[in-house]
Amino acid sequence: MIKKLIDESMAKSPWVFHINAGSCNGCDIELVAVLTPRYDAERLGFKLAGTPRHADIVVVSGPVTAQSKDRVLRTIAQVPDPKVIVTLGSCPCSGNVFKGSYSVVGPLDKYVPVDVSIAGCAPKPEAIIDGLALAAQIIKEKREKQ
């Protein structure tokens, strides 16, 4: 009974941890805009986590650089299972304009399985909210399978 209560409460409030893997900050600004009163993703239950150990959803922005790769992978490993990994913008998916650069070792899905990709450079806040809603549905399904 207690496990059911915990599962129900966690399903309604997914916590998001954001990792910048070397981005230009365009996606980061849009993610912050999603949390402000205009778009207010918190009304849907999303809350930024201060530590990866409290997160359910990991949002990665920016191309994965040689300098950030180990830190990104170590941070993702700290997120408890089940977790959902979301790429924010075109950079973590393909490298975007940074593809082919000497310092880019991405895409992210080369190293970890990505559950949701939010396209755009930078993606619109509406697309980010839609992607986070999809991630919340995926985390719910993963928890039910456990």
- Name the one residue in this structure whose structure tokens are 């954001």: 18
The pLDDT tens digits of the residues spanning 43-64 come to: 888 888 889 898 889 999 888 8
Q: Is the pLDDT of residue 9 over 70?
A: no
Q: In the prediction, which pLDDT does 2 show?
A: 67
Outline where DSSP puts E strands in 1-146. Answer: 15-20, 47-48, 57-61, 84-88, 116-118
Task: Identify the CATH assignment for 2-145 out of 3.40.50.12280, 3.40.50.720, 3.40.50.300, 3.40.462.10.
Answer: 3.40.50.12280
Q: What 3-state class would DSSP assign to 106? A: coil
Number of other residues whose CB lies within 10 A of the CB of residue 133: 16
Nearest to 121 by CA among 101, 96, 99: 96
Q: Tell how strand 84-88 and strand 15-20 pair up.
A: unpaired
The pLDDT tens digits of the residues spanning 124-145 come to: 989 988 998 898 888 888 888 8
Burial degree of 58 (CB within 10 A; 0-12, 13-18, 19+): buried
Q: Where are the domains of the chain?
A: 2-145
Nearest to 113 by CA among 140, 83, 143: 83
The pLDDT tens digits of the residues spanning 17-44 come to: 999 888 888 888 888 888 888 888 888 8
Sorting pLDDT into bands at 50, 70 and 90, what band is 11?
low
Q: What 3-state class would DSSP assign to 102? A: coil
